[in-house]
A and B are shown apart, each in its own frame.
Chain A
Amino acid sequence: MIFESLQALLAPSSLLAVFIGTVSGVLVGGMPGLTATMAVALLIPVTFVLEPLTGLILMGGVYCGAMYGGSIPAILLRTPGTPAAVATAMEGYPMSRQGHGGLALKVSVIASFCGGVFSTFVLLMVAPILAIFALTFGPPEYFLLAILGLVGIVSMADDESSLVKALISGLLGLVIAVIGTDPISGQLRYTLGLTDLYDGVSFMPALIGMFSISQMLDLTSTKRIVTDTSTLQKIKREPFPKGLKKFVGLGSITGTVVGVLPGEGATIAAFLSYNFARQYSKKKHLFGHGNPEGIAAAESGNNGCVGGSLVPTLTLGIPGNSVAAALMGGLIIHGLIPGPELFSKYGVMTYAFILSLFLANIIFLFIGLTMAPYFARISLIPTPILIPVVCLFSLLGSYAMNNSILDIFVALICGIAAVILHRTGFSLGALILGLILGPIAESGFAQALIIGHGSYSIFFTRPQAIILWAIILVLLIPPIIQISRQSGRKKADVERQSDTSAE
């Protein structure tokens, strides 16, 4: 069957579809506000007229391309093209400022490629087994997964933003996440009577504001993004950083596992892998200042989601995230109902589709590697031209997401607030973690209590929950020991000083 699938994939129409899909995916991903979900959904009517396989391949290409494409503006302009690229922006943009933008882009494309290929391989080989694993996750596990992500706030604390400030930022994110409709009772919370706020503060406009617009405001005092242009000349010859393999592997596995879980998206995958990398890196102090390890983990994480999210989609008909949901819509419209039949009766097509994802990964790797030096030149554009253009696209992207004027104001308010928070040493990363994970934690917690008929024991009796508790503790204990030691040392210093001054 694989041989026939390969034959179907090598037909000129299929090859063309992979190419067009991937290239347009990279472009869509690179535009803030245009997401992979939107692009795949808009392709569905196009696929009416195409052969089912060609249509599917086209959508798969867009999915793969967009996941990578989001990292390009994230690295160069601190404007995440997709929400999943936020963690990439946190490390990639400082690298750009130091003149290492080209290198950051290379790390990103190679990590994306590895994550994508790994997860597609998993999809090809062990999809049914993984799907069963995904089903064992219920509300209590989703609650703990959100907590696992929130633990990352502790590691966001560094010399710039103290632990207390990071926790306050995280809490602020959780508070903003409360706005909207209560997931359980359906009551409205702090929506000010605005229909646009019924679903909560839209995530993408808030991100665009906090990262892109705030950064543009910051840049007004400089001539161009790159502070030290001397390094730019050496882009092509810059040595590739060593020791990234570990982080790419970590990201690929985390991304695939999170992707397999129905409803969990690439954004969470990227953040979780980023946090794992932050915990296990030997160069912890470099995080937040342009550490390629962070890019490697985040990008392999969000691309790892691609294959992962298709596992429950194809085998069980439960889409792994919103892009997979749109892709499933494209399958069903051709009468292809996800389930075992997809792998037997329609096996030739399904396997050709999976194999096409490998091809899509190779195509964006090629595009990324050849174009990196040219893309990197964006950071040489003088700010008087760059700032208006980026701001315009940022606002356009904020609006385009939901066709909502309110979202433009969300972006602007978040932009100004972010400048103030950043200057006063509050961590934006922590805030965003709170914002993304708040709703997941809330509905997971409430649903678990309903299922457990009000008993908290449901969080401690299930084996998956216990494993998650263990990971949470493993992640939480080392930083806490470190922080308490540091503060102990500081206190001792202060005491010694006050002793001497007393004498």
Chain B
Amino acid sequence: MKKTLTALLIALMMTPVLAFGAYPEKPITIIVPSNAGGSTDTTARLFIKSAKKFIPDADFVVKNVGGSGGQKGFEEIARAKPDGYTIGMIFTTQIVAHIVSKRADYTLDSFHIIGNMMQDPLIIAVPATSEIKTLDDFIAAAKAKELTVAVNGIGSDDFVAAKKFENHTGVTFNLLPTKGSTEQKAMILGGHIDASFMNVTQLHGQHKDGTARIIAILDDKRSDIIPDVPTAKELNVPVSMTATRGWVAPAGIDAEVAATLDKLVADVMSDKEFIEACEKDVMILHPMSGPDYKKYLVELQAETQKFYETTPW
């Protein structure tokens, strides 16, 4: 009995060595640096559904490593063995915010950047009952008195957007850090604050229902979701800011495996079913190749660094 068991054990241990199959030959772990149910998590799961079409043998396991603004998850991806069996998602500005605040155990060079998938441009929203109807009203009101403006935590995309806006227009906000979009929404709908910087997918429903008003979108072009809202650029305030969600693998990954992964993400991005699902879920596709996304992240880091030096957190 003991002998058979030992033999079985040895056989089991040998299998991976003997099998020389093509990548992937075991399940790929996807680290999602946020809790299950959020939009990053949903992106990963929609991705898996479509990815199986392109690599039918591949199995994917989602590992949610939420909390601390994604830092725990980002670190886990950076630390993982670069064998192609651990990949993960990143999101901005958090990925660079942790670097500039010197808290992160990683740098952008810790990752092989596969590419970007989604974006979520920032918007400026006011309560439905507010007298502020346009961006001009908003700037005038902010110049007349210090407006209370909610952002999602210090160092977040909302915060950077608000700081960029302040720098450009010369106004100063009474910034109110919150725990996230739920709190921001409740404060806007309840009229507890003057305005809020948040992402378009977080408030478009309320804008359409008339329970909140989006006065400008901080993007280069208008959004298909809310075509009635002008861009800040149109109104001569060239401030743009967006949140992105993309894919990375640990640095040092084998070139061939990296190429497979890069192609997989590109393939999924052009999959009709995936595009349809994203549209239904109001996710805004924003494809960027690995090198392009890397360039974007480096620039974002430099920009965030500037704000950190003036108002550290």
A337 contacts B205, C-beta separation under 8 Å: yes
Whether B36 and A316, one on each chain, are in contact in the complex, defined by CB atoms closer than 8 angstroms, is no
Query: Separation in Å of the A312 CB from the closest CB of chain B?
Result: 8
Residues of B within 8 A of A262 (CB): 182-183, 185-186
Contacting pair A319 B282 (CB below 8 A)? no
Interface residue B16 (Cβ < 8 Å from any Cβ of A) = no
| B64 (CB) vs chain A CBs: closest residue | A403
Known: A325-B37, A333-B281. A195 touches B75 (CB 8 A): yes
Partner of A443, one of B42, B179, B204, B277: B179
Question: In the bound complex, what is the Cα–Cα distance between A137 and B282 (angstroms)?
Answer: 29
Decide yes or no whether A340 CB sits under 8 A from chain B: yes
Among A96-104, A183-191, A281-289, A293-301, the stretch that binds chain B is A183-191
Indicate if A473 sits at the interface (CB-CB under 8 A): no
Partner of B183, one of A45, A263, A329: A263
Neighbouring B residues of A38 by C-beta, 8 Å? 36
The secondary-structure label for the interface of chain B is mixed
Q: How far is the CA of A187 from the CA of B154 in the complex (A)?
A: 9
Min CB distance A138 to B, Å, is 4
Task: Please pick, from A45, A187, A319, the residue contacting B313 in the complex, using a CB distance under 8 A.
Answer: A187
Task: Knowing A329-B42, A451-B193, say if A184 contacts B37 (CB, 8 Å).
Answer: no
A184 nearest CB neighbor, chain B only: B177
Q: Which of B150-191 contact A (CB under 8 A)?
A: 153-155, 174-179, 182-183, 185-187, 189-191
User: In angstroms, how far is the closest chain B Cβ from the Cβ of A342?
Assistant: 10
B41 interfacial by beta-carbon distance below 8 Å: yes
Closest chain A residue, CB of each to CB of B66: A402
Q: Say yes or no: A451 contacts B192, CB within 8 Å.
A: yes
A495 part of interface (Cβ distance < 8 Å): no
Considering the complex, give the chain B residue whose CB is closest to the CB of A462. Answer: B192
B81 at the A/B interface (Cβ < 8 Å)?
no
B residues within 8 A CB of A326? 36-37
Determine whether the beta carbon of B68 is less than 8 Å from that of A199: yes
> Complex formed: what's the CA distance from A139 to B193 in Å?
10
B36 lies within 8 A of A263 (CB)? no
Q: What B residues does A335 contact at CB under 8 A?
A: 280-282
Q: Is the CB of A334 within 8 A of B42?
A: no
By the criterion CB–CB under 8 Å, are A186 and B185 in contact? no
Chain B's nearest CB lies how many Å from the CB of A373?
36
Q: Please state if B186 and A263 are interface contacts (CB–CB under 8 Å).
A: yes
CB closest residue in chain B, given A328:
B37
Do residues A316 and B37 form an inter-chain contact, with CB atoms below 8 A?
no
A10-52 with Cβ < 8 A to chain B: 37-38, 40-42, 44-45, 48
A41/B183 contact (C-beta < 8 A), A183-B177, A185-B154, A187-B313 known: no
Give the distance in Å from the alpha carbon of A334 to the alpha carbon of B183 in the complex.
24
- Complex formed: what's the CA distance from A184 to B155 in Å? 11
Asked if A347 is at the interface (CB within 8 A of a chain B CB), the reply is: no
15 contacting pairs across A/B (C-beta < 8 A): A40-B37, A41-B35, A135-B186, A135-B190, A137-B190, A138-B192, A196-B67, A263-B179, A316-B211, A318-B185, A325-B182, A329-B42, A339-B206, A447-B177, A451-B176
Chain A positions within 8 Å of B, measured between CB atoms, are: 37-38, 40-42, 44-45, 48, 134-139, 181, 183-188, 195-196, 198-199, 262-263, 312, 316-319, 325-326, 329-330, 332-335, 337-341, 402-403, 443, 447, 450-451, 453
